[in-house]
Amino acid sequence: MAKLAVLGGTPVRAEKPWPQWPIHDATDVKLITEVTKSNRWSYDGPVEWKFAEAFAKYQGAKFGMCSANGTIAIQIALEALGIGAYDEVIVPGMTWQATAAACIDVNAIPVLVDVEPDTWCLDLAKVEAAITKKTKAVIVVHLYGCMADLTKLQALCKKHNLLLVEDCAHQHGSFWKGKGVGSFGDMGSFSFQESKTLSCGEGGFNTCKTKEQFDKLYSLRNCGRGYRGDFKFALQGGNCRLTEWQAAILTCALERLDKQVKLRDANAIYLNSLLDQIPGVMTMRRRKEITQQSYFNFTFRLDLPKLKGVTNKQIIPALNAELSTVELFEPPYDPLNNCSLYKPHTKARHNLSTAYWKAIDPKRFKIPVCTDATEKSGLAVHHMLLMGTKKDMDVVANAVAKVVENLEALRGYDPTGPRRKYRGLAK
């Protein structure tokens, strides 16, 4: 049996570097230069709106608008929908903390609901069980490379008269029955942060269905001003805009997006077909309604009863070592009831009342599927891994197979190595 790289053996792949992210080419530099020379650097510039229209169209949304980042995009979506103090908003227990933090920042109460074991997206039976008289909205997160059942979720929201917000930070270019995510809910939000599949370093995007919603979103992101001087739906707003340089980078990235999404999707389908043959490994569920799946991260799970006490704690460093990557493989997000970055009680302004303080305590929610995925069974790897060739996917599957074949050696392994310096390649 070959010795595992993490224990001093030879890695499955030592030499060839993985694709890097983010990506740019000469077109980005050209457009950035044009913007610089144009003296039109911000505030409803032509590059921004051309991009906004093109991206909204690509996602199938009626209206779209750039905003400062994905967190703000969720926050202004909630505000534009009239969600505020003491309203309950259902949020998945596994997501980046911003999804829940945005609710608290509009004085609403995020109600953490557990996820499905095979998609890590909202479990709709548990959503229905969590609905109370105070529930106003559901935020669905299309997490990593999976989607919740959007058709059933729309019906559920309609039945209970709830608003639906889609957090699409992970899924630029995902399509459900041929239609882009972000166009199903009352509003949608996207992040353009550096790691995302459409990126300009930092940035966000809002989608919505009606002109009135759009006017409210616009006012919220532009210091209360009305769109093109129309103040009919103006609200108390802030500065949540982005610049023309960011829009320039996004314009070029959008040109490349669909091709990249298709490459990742094809590689993920192939990699899943290989992983499905490895005992102890379980792939994620792809719903039949998904016509194109975008991947922020590629994820899979361990069938723990078959792994003789070994968990993701040992397998993750073993895989990084086999593929010569620095923490490219990680556990999925911390469950939000035990997440070091989600601490609503650390802000005095969240203390609206004793009742509110109690209601926003994340510890009161039980989300065992999220906990199990993070602590034991889940693995997530950045989408740059899916941007290689089919042969690269063979290498990944070979690394997983090698690690699983060497479970005995891993059993006593204590993974307390150095923390990540940066995400990507080992030097």
Q: Give Cβ neighbours of residue 134 (< 8 Å, ≥ 6 apart).
A: 86, 87, 88, 109
Please, which of residues 86-105 interact with ligand PLP by CB under 6 A? Answer: 95-96, 98-99
Evaluate whether 74 touches 167 at the Cβ level (below 8 Å): yes
Q: Which residue is nearest to ligand PLP (CB)?
A: 70
Q: Which is nearer to ligand PLP, 76 or 169 (CB)?
A: 169
Of the candidate spans 69-77, 248-256, 298-306, 377-385, the one that interacts with ligand PLP by CB under 6 A turns out to be: 69-77
Q: Which is nearer to ligand PLP, 72 or 319 (CB)?
A: 72
Residue 410 parent element (H or E): helix 407-411
Please, which of residues 254-293 interact with ligand PLP by CB under 6 A? Answer: none
Q: Which is nearer to ligand PLP, 44 or 202 (CB)?
A: 202
Q: What is the total count of residues that contact ligand PLP (CB under 6 A)? A: 14
Range list of H helices, 306-405: 312-322, 354-359, 368-372, 390-405
Q: Which is nearer to ligand PLP, 11 or 362 (CB)?
A: 362
Q: Which is nearer to ligand PLP, 76 or 315 (CB)?
A: 76
Residue 23: both structure tokens together: 């990506």
204 counts as binding ligand PLP under rule CB under 6 A: yes
What letters, b where the CB count within 10 A reaches 16 and e where it falls short, cover 279-297? Answer: ebbbbbebeeebebbbbbb
169 counts as binding ligand PLP under rule CB under 6 A: yes
Q: Which is nearer to ligand PLP, 96 or 365 (CB)?
A: 96
From 126, 170, 172, 301, residue interacting with ligand PLP (rule: CB under 6 A): 170
Q: CA 42 from chain center: how many Å?
A: 27
From 59, 67, 71, 299, residue interacting with ligand PLP (rule: CB under 6 A): 71
From 67, 119, 174, 193, residue interacting with ligand PLP (rule: CB under 6 A): 193
Cα separation, 227 vs 217, whole angstroms = 9
**Rounded to the nearest whole angstrom, what is the least distance from the CB of residue 55 to ligand PLP in the complex?**
15
Cα separation, 253 vs 183, whole angstroms = 21
From 167, 322, 334, 392, residue interacting with ligand PLP (rule: CB under 6 A): 167
Evaluate whether 339 touches 97 at the Cβ level (below 8 Å): yes
Which residue in 158, 306, 190 sits closest to 257, CA to CA?
A: 190
Handedness of CA 341, 346, 351, 355 (dihedral sign): positive
Binding stretches for ligand PLP (CB under 6 A): 69-71, 95-96, 98-99, 141, 167, 169-170, 191, 193, 204
